Homo-oligomer: A and B are copies of this chain.
Amino acid sequence: MSAHLGSITGSRVQMRNLTKEYGIVRAVDNVSLDIEPGEFISLLGPSGSGKTTALMMLAGFERTTSGTIHIGEQDVTLVPPFARGIGMVFQSYALFPHMSVYDNISYPLKLRRMSKLEIDERVRRAMDMVKLPPDKFANRLPQQLSGGQRQRVALVRALIYEPHVLLMDEPMGALDKNLREELKLELLSLQERLRLTIVYVTHDQGEALMLSNRAAVMRDGRIEQVANPEALYRRPQTEFVANFLGEANLVPVEQSSEREFTLPDGQVVRSSPDISVDPSQSYLLLLRPEEIEVCAEAEAMLRGRIQSTVYLGSSIRIDVDTPIGVLTVVAKPNQSRRFERNQIVGLRFATGDAVLVPKEARAG
């Protein structure tokens, strides 16, 4: 996919106060998001969070209730999908079942009235690039391909006319685990070469962390936080984001001075200086399981009783009942050290630069 496709550089995409209502339900609620040219951005959220609806509005398949969409310099809010100059990869791949692989890939070029010769050259080159040799695959029908091959055809078909924005709707959903890993790496290298703007919808936090430059975590039609993967994982701004991206221990704390917070057992942690704290709000201390270390009781900040241990191969997950609550700890399995239920263990974690998350008000 280099040669002809080598020159692509993505467009800027801007969503401004985008809202979509179905009757009284707000599927997307006042979403604004600026996507830089060449950025790989994920819309990440559970099902029903509005991520797919937002993508459908970007593609032009859903009308907006209010708000505007710009692609590049153009306001495309009212432009029909076929004139938006986007590429899209669907969860089901949406290959045309009555067309061969060759016809599927060449279809967008035919629509653009290219010469037969140029179409042929482009399609063959593109097929070679994604390891589908034209000799073998050109005349196959989609149903004669494996899942991974179908995915690659869908990708090439969406890219061959050099759109500046690629929209992807859970494109890995239907693949098994190994294939998924492989295609993720391929997608990363592709984006690195072409500098496309990619908007990638997924409910899988691992995919979003691995692939994106930034991810927007969505919930109930709204964006909770937009940030790069590391910031989302290490400095989530809401309880929801903290829980959605990996496992989280959330310990209630009381503010004792401007930057100091007291744990239930009286110990004090200092918050990271870049977190601004609202005194009227309750906070939770975020401890990722891998940030807590199991240690000798003498060196421990906390002691606790092991509630359960689960062997996961590359690690052991231990739930420890401590004075500040049940903490989940992930430890490396170690031949010399065994963890048993009801054993008393020491735990420690860094008390500086603690990450605090506002406690969510819950109904009832």
- List residues of chain A with CB under 8 Å of any chain B CB: 184-185, 188, 205-206, 209-210, 229-230, 233-234, 245-247, 288-290, 308, 310-315, 330, 332-333
Contact = CB atoms under 8 A, between A and B. Distances in A.
A334 to B, nearest CB: 11
Given A230-B333, A332-B290, A206 B308 contact: no
A186 B149 CA distance: 39
Contact of A210 (B210, B234, B311): B311
Given A185-B308, A308-B188, A314 B333 contact: no
A209 B246 CA distance: 20
B313 A289 contact: no
Given A230-B333, A290-B332, A332-B290, A312 B210 contact: yes
B308 A229 contact: no
Nearest to A330: B314
B229 A313 contact: yes
A311 B209 contact: yes
Contacts of A332: 290
Nearest to A184: B310
Nearest to A310: B210
Contact of A209 (B184, B210, B312): B312
B310 A288 contact: no
Nearest to A204: B177
A315 B290 CA distance: 9
Contacts of A184: 310
A241 B314 CA distance: 15
A82 to B, nearest CB: 36
A251 to B, nearest CB: 18
B188 A314 contact: no
A236 to B, nearest CB: 11
22 contacts: A184-B310, A185-B310, A188-B308, A206-B312, A206-B313, A209-B311, A209-B312, A209-B313, A210-B310, A210-B311, A210-B312, A229-B311, A229-B313, A230-B311, A230-B333, A233-B311, A233-B313, A233-B314, A245-B313, A246-B314, A247-B314, A289-B314
A222 B233 CA distance: 42
Contacts of A188: 308, 310
Nearest to A206: B312
A315 B291 CA distance: 11
A309 to B, nearest CB: 10
